[in-house]
Structure 1
Amino acid sequence: MNDEQLLRYSRHILLEELGIEGQERLLAAHALVIGAGGLGSPVLLYLASAGVGRITVVDPDVVDLTNLQRQIAHDLARVGQPKARSAAQSMAAINPEVQVEARVERAGPEQLDALVAGADVVLDCSDNFDTRHAVNRACVAHRKPLVSGAAIRFDGQISVFDSRGHDGDPAVPADAPCYACLFPPEAPADAVRCATMGVFAPLVGIVGAMQAAEAIKLLAGSGRSLAGRLQMLDGRSMEWTEIGLKRRPGCSVCDPAVPGAAVAGR
């Protein structure tokens, strides 16, 4: 690190759990962020401010006036612009050293296969189950840690799904679950969106900031991640609930005994 970087990241360097080595890991890391909306906004701003060296953001949508109630990476002047590019502008204003790739496209299985393979951590900030399951499958296939968050109405949740097992973090159980263990893709799911259900504006900031924190910890090799744990927030009372998660036998994504699983043949 040069003198300017030592000064910029001095508050991280002062932390015994991060230090210079942890910050250098962040500077050399590549984060993939799916979604530049309510959750993606705080995620992207915090990753950039923390000095994550490369950040790829994928989002097919454009900034709408209704987004500005909660999507803090965008402003009124950018209404009509692609969210991915708008977020990239905000990130550059905070930290121009970060290399940002803004992809204005939907994250389908083919795109994700290539993008996830080149990332060190993946953050799912999307708003639909199809994308979440596609992201999870790619992360399991490429053994990449996934930080997953969701927020609707006054309810938020966050977890880490780390298919690396002991290869990535000795604290992560070798049989850690994937997203599909919790929400089986074959089970019917109700499509709930902010456009129809509403969302409490600060809620996406709370969950998104926690997603960024989990990703930074994973990249820096600091602390204990949320792998194997799901935290849920009731924003009405500001009460957190945590439940333990285990791998689901017969999971169609992470159980190698199931034909067509993402880990088949590994």
Structure 2
Amino acid sequence: MAKKAARKSGGKKSKASTSKRPLAARLRRWVTRAALAAVAFVVGVVLLYTVVNPPVTHTIWSEWRRLGRVDRDWVPIEEISPTMARSVVAAEDANFCLHWGFDVDAIRDALEDGGSRGASTITQQVVKNVFLWQGRSYVRKALETSITPVVEIFWSKQRILEVYLNVAETGEGIFGVEAAAQNNFHVTAAKLSPVQAARIAAILPSPRNRSVKDPSVRTRRRAAAILDGAATIRADGRADCFED
């Protein structure tokens, strides 16, 4: 009797372990498939946006809901003053042409300063603005870090900068340099002067708290530094990757 009971008990354990194994295997397959589907979706959207302009971003949509309207006019990079493009790069990512999405030196400097300064490249900002959302979170940062190399692989540097120049917030309810140029200087982005371009670039870190029309002393100083920086990156070749 004892032997029979032992055999029955062993049979039950065997059946239980056998039933668990297929369940675990199915779960692994579903997780793998979901991960592959997510990767395929992201790559597909990135590829689509190489030729199609992003119709809206989370930030634009959020501001539209908050304000009831937004001002945004998409223009190709050929219709944006070269000095505007150089000013933005000088202000936000001077080594834009030298890295593949992450500026290691800027990250190291930010860590040494205790995280008081930003180290996001223009590519990272494009990923955040186009594909993700604002705010600080480990989830968003992990997604941003994952998508940034994909964008660098499939988009040219010129395309990355073109998208940035059209989706960056340049004032309250204002997005892109074309809308900023028309709202602040009553000219198109193609007609911006070096000083005007530098002023727009100077407010980019905090466009809702800084003014292009009535810049503070600090903003004026930053604009002057950007003006010099734009001339420097043109002279030393750091603008070659996005200029014809």
Whether the TM-score (by the shorter chain) exceeds 0.5 is no
Greater fraction strand = 1
Greater fraction helix = 2
**Structure 1 length normalisation: TM-score?**
0.27
Greater Rg by CA: 2
- Greater relative contact order structure (CA < 8 Å, 6+ sep): 2
**Structure 2 length normalisation: TM-score?**
0.29
